[in-house]
Structure 1
Amino acid sequence: MKQSIVITGGTSGIGLATAKILDASGFLPLLVGRDPERGAAALAQVPAARFLQGDVAEPSAAETIFAQAAQYGPIGGLVTSAGIYHEALLSEETEATLAELFATNVYGTIRCCR
């Protein structure tokens, strides 16, 4: 059985690139993302991977994601590459957008690492 690696933000960008490398190195990439369509597109590029739907910005998501991941055996690692970006000056960010940024980029990472 391949060792599984959970990759948040695994359906695009750095997360997807990491999944390709891990797959080629003999690991089972578990791609975490919010959008099933993007998940399907990512699986077309890394067919051996598995898609786990979840939004790390949600407080209960990490528990659900890791429960799903455990179905594939022991988890050997975690890559936290989920992140969002708003193209605006910090002085132009609203409290709502700052909260959204922190929920994904900071709290989502912390919750997954716990």
Structure 2
Amino acid sequence: MNPPKHAIITGGSSGIGLAIAHRLAAQGASLSLIARTPEKLEAARAQLEAKRRLPDQQVFTVAADVADRAQADQAVQRAIAHLGPPDWLVTCAGIARPGEFLEIPVEVFERTMAVNYFGTLYCIRAALPAMEQQRHGQIVCVSSGAGLIGLYGYTAYSPSKFALRGLAESLRGELKPKGIGVSIVYPPDTDTPQLAEENKTKPLVTQKITATAKTWSADGVAEVILAGVQRRAFAITPGFEMGVLNRLHSVLLPMLNQSFDKITAKVRNLQ
């Protein structure tokens, strides 16, 4: 698969989204970044323009909250008007607020689903007509390892990432005859500003459970994502653990639950 001429990336001002943008800029792609904070977008644009390989490459930024349907639609339409139909849409925008179930405000559950699931859905709906018209495109939905198994402390986050899996699996067969590919990514913990924010409220049990797996760099995850899209993979799983979990999560779940329960009991005995 050739590099995209135009890629729209939500959550493109930091973390995995920005890392993907850096790699695509180095390949000659023009980019549209959608994120909430204008200052972060401007800083990302300056970084990416320094990476341009071709004189006609452009970096376009739009400040928008993808959880708001009107804002998401307008942002995607502005990107298309400026740089043309997207070859790729990469949905990285996401939030996480770990905590004990009854201690998390209901509004956090609603906001997390709004950003992580509906924010992806709105942007796909906005970009898809242009992709269908050109008869090609690639949609890349960034889920999480917590979208394969539910984890202690992630009662707000895991369901929103599970929902992305259902959306991607359903869309794959529908869009394939139209020349549009769909991929879903299950990253492990990744060293990003979001992870730093998560760690502020992450219960000790959750810390112990997630500490059993390696934390990846955003660039390392971006490298695996681009390689996965290149080989037209549906499920993209950075690292051995995510690969096994994707293939065998239902088989492994009883054993994993036993392990997690032991960690929970040990932590609670120490408190």
Fold agreement, TM-score > 0.5:
yes
- Structure with larger Rg: 2
Identity among equivalent positions (%) equals 37
More strand by share: 1
Hey, what does 1:50 align to over in structure 2? 60
Correspondence 1:99 to 2:105: no
> What's the secondary structure of 2:69's corresponding residue?
coil
**Aligned partner letter, 1:79:** V
Structure 1 runs of 4+ off > 3 angstroms?
Answer: none
- Supply the distance in 2 between the matched residues of 1:90 and 1:72 (Cα, whole angstroms): 43
How far the C-alpha of 1:62 sits from its partner, in A, is 2.2
47-56 vs 17-26, which deviates more? Answer: 47-56
How far the C-alpha of 1:92 sits from its partner, in A, is 2.1
Aligned length: 113
52-61 vs 87-96, which deviates more? Answer: 87-96
Matches of residues 65-84 of structure 1 in structure 2 within 5 Å? 65-70=75-80, 71-84=82-95
The CA deviation string for residues 65-110 of structure 1, in whole angstroms up to 9 with x for no partner, is 1211112122111000000111323342211011110110011011
Hey, what does 2:19 align to over in structure 1? 17
The CA deviation string for residues 14-67 of structure 1, in whole angstroms up to 9 with x for no partner, is 000000011111111111111110111111211142211111011212210121
Structure 1 vs Structure 2 CA RMSD: 1.4
Hey, what does 2:29 align to over in structure 1? 27
Hey, what does 2:157 align to over in structure 1? none
- Higher-RCO chain (CA-CA 8 Å, sequence separation at least 6): 1
CA contact (8 A) 1:5 1:27 kept: yes
> What's the secondary structure of 2:94's corresponding residue?
coil
CA contact (8 A) 1:8 1:32 kept: yes
CA contact (8 A) 2:60 2:79 kept: no
> TM-score scaled by structure 2?
0.40
> TM-score scaled by structure 1?
0.91
More helix by share: 2
Hey, what does 1:89 align to over in structure 2? 100
